[in-house]
Structure 1
Amino acid sequence: MESTKKRILNVSRQLFNEQGYSNVTIRMIALELKMSSGNLNYHYKKREDILEALYFEMVAEFDERINTLGQKDFTLEIVKNDIQTSMQRMVDYCFFWTDLYNLLRLNKKVKTHFDRAYQNRINGSLFLLNFLTEKGLLRNFEWPLESQFLAERMVSFGNTWLYNTFLYTKKINATYIDKQANNLLSMLYPYLTELGKKEYKKLLPDYFR
């Protein structure tokens, strides 16, 4: 049976996604759950506590993926699949990514983790770029900061694609997520070797017809 805390988080996430974090009150969450505000406050004293719990629920999967990077082999197809998985996870918690700046200001613990996770994602991207270079799929970078700037662009796109989606009211479905994953993967194309381009074209043949 689902625990009360889990029910609260699931319903809160649904309401936050639908209406935005700032538009949802503890009372609204309690009404949706058919419980009193006092009963809800027993589990989460304020709305910010729910935000914090949802954030760490969301990033547990991201953190695990970063922590296990060194245990995986990578092809461009695997990279794309990982991107799609991350993007879908972001959609499941879209309220956070569409109001990222404001929500990070509300909770110091969340902001501290996010800043650390951001640097970990940069480092993870650099690890991936180095792996693909050693595998012969990427050319050697020509100047010291070239790979750093590419990693930062990839992480920045990963942080903001969902905000842009909501800004321009695009419909999110599997096809759209696939397109956004391809957009992110395409950042690698100018750095691919002939072997890498061959693998890329095999993965995305429609782009070359």
Structure 2
Amino acid sequence: MKKTKEIILDTSLSLFNSLGLAKVTLRTIAQKMEISQGNLNYHFKKREDIIEALYFQLVGNIDKSMANNTQLQNPFELLANISKTLMTNFYEYRFFLLDFAQIMRENEKIKGHYMELSKQRETQFSVLFESLVKHGLMREEILPDEYKNLYKRIQILGDFWISDAEILNSKITKKSISTYGVILSQAIFPYLTVIGQKEYTAAIGEVF
């Protein structure tokens, strides 16, 4: 049986995903659970405490999922699986991306942690791009900071794809993960060599 704190987080996540941050208060969560707000405050003093707990719960889930991808040898299959892992987890916690700017403005702890993760991801992608170039799967850079900017485009797509799906579709579904997963993964395709494009096509077809 789940503890009250776990039920609060589950209920909050469901409400945040369905209604958005603006419409969910501690009272909303307490009413949904049919408990007093005092009982809720015993576990979480502020709504921001719940948001932080959900954020680090999401990060933990991603870390566990990513660990399963480290054994993959094909770089394109690895890239596709990482993208799918991230997008699947963000779908489950989609309010973070739908209310991304607001959360980053209001919560310094989450913003600070996110900025550190962004730096780590940029380094990881830089290593990946260098490896692809070294093995003849990706061409050399032509423009200054070309691959640094490629990573930035991938990051922007990754952070805001759910907002695009929400705006253009009446409802976000798990099918959106495959649709936007292909869009995201294709960002690298124009930079690949002929050999790289063949390997990419074979690998991506197995994932999305």
Q: Which residue of 2 aligns with 1:123?
A: 123
For residues 73-152 of structure 1, what are the structure 2 equivalents within 5 Å?
73-152=73-152
Work out the number of aligned pairs and report it: 205
1:156-167 correspondence runs (5 A)? 156-167=156-167
2:153 counterpart of 1:153: yes
Which moves more between the two structures, 17-26 or 134-143?
A: 134-143
TM-score, normalised by the number of residues in structure 2: 0.88
After TM superposition, give the deviation of residue 70 of structure 1 in Å.
7.6
More moved, 127-136 vs 9-18 = 127-136
Alignment-derived partner of residue 191 in structure 1: 191
- The alignment-based identity, stated in percent, is 36
Query: For 2:97 and 2:50, how far apart are their aligned partners in 1?
Result: 16
Q: Which runs of 5+ in 2 are unaligned?
A: none
Deviation of residue 106 (structure 1)?
1.6
Greater alpha carbon shift after TM alignment, 175-184 vs 11-20: 175-184
Conserved in 1, the CA contact under 8 Å of 2:125 and 2:151? Answer: yes
One-letter code aligned to 1:175:
K
Give CA-to-partner distance per residue, 1:144-187, whole Å, 9 cap, x none.
Answer: 41111111111111011111111223543343211211111111
CA change 1:12–1:103 in 2 (3 A) is same
Superposition CA RMSD, Å? 2.4
Q: What secondary structure sits across from 1:105 in the alignment?
A: helix
Unaligned 5+ segments in structure 1 are none
SS, match of residue 96 in structure 2 = helix
**Does structure 1 residue 10 correspond to structure 2 residue 7?**
no
Distance 1:189 1:164, change over 3 A: same
CA offsets 1:102-129 (integer angstroms, 9 cap, x no match): 1112211111111222222222222222
TM-score, normalization by structure 1: 0.87
Say if 2:25 and 2:47, in contact at 8 Å, map to a contact too: yes
Matches of 1:156 and 1:203, distance apart in 2: 23
